[in-house]
Amino acid sequence: MDFKIHDAHNIFYVAVLTITYTHFNLIVMIRIKQLYFIMTASYDIKDLIDACSCPVNVVVLRNALASASIDFGLNTAKEVIEFICNGGIENPKLINTKKWEKNPDVISIYVDSYSFFSGKKHGYLAFMFSDKTKKWLIKSLKLNRDLLERSEFYNQLSDIYSIQQKLK
């Protein structure tokens, strides 16, 4: 017997009822298994990019600025915001959305995390929007140290091969 349970974070679970007979004893087990995960972003990344055209709407947090300086050579908040506004975030892919763990306010704020490319660099961007201040917050901008998924690697190789074939 299977039935689905849905929670507030778009994670679907299946409860599996297993009945096992062992020498006249009835054992009933209920296992909860994660069936699949539907990830949706809390924000549209295009809204962040658009907001960067008016720098007063965006705040770059200290740790984000430090890693952006080391990994991308962006030494000021203005440079980070211009980088985002001027197409520095290429091919963004949603990694996850979760509550901001170190939020000083009672109001919940969710953080969207993306992997992206900027030229040959594989980057990581995490950002959020504060309803209280009406500002976008750049929480993290750094190199993405996670390996590309195998399918993404093969997709990129396929794209390179297609371009090479067109150039011949």
User: Token digits for 18?
Assistant: 């297993």
Single pTM value for the model: 0.66
CB of 139 closer than 8 Å to CB of 111: yes
Walk along the chain (168 residues) and give the pLDDT tens digit of each residue. 333 333 344 444 444 444 445 555 555 454 544 444 456 888 999 999 999 999 999 999 999 999 999 999 999 999 999 999 999 999 999 998 988 887 777 778 899 999 999 988 999 999 999 988 999 999 999 999 876 554 465 566 667 777 777 777
Both tokens assigned to 127: 């950002």
CB 79 within 8 A of CB 64: no
CA pair distance 37, 2, nearest whole angstrom: 18
Q: Could you tell me where the beta strands, DSSP code E, fall in the chain? A: 2-6, 11-22, 25-37, 58-60, 90-99, 110-118, 121-130, 135-143
Rounded CA separation 97/31 (Å)? 26
Q: Which one of 3.30.2310, 2.40.128, 3.10.450, 3.40.50 gives the CATH number of domain 45-147?
A: 3.30.2310
Sequence spans of domains, the chain: 2-37, 45-147
Instruction: Please state, in angstroms and rounded to a whole number, the distance separating the CA atoms of residues 45 and 50.
Output: 9
Q: Which residue in this structure is represented by tokens 């197409």? A: 87
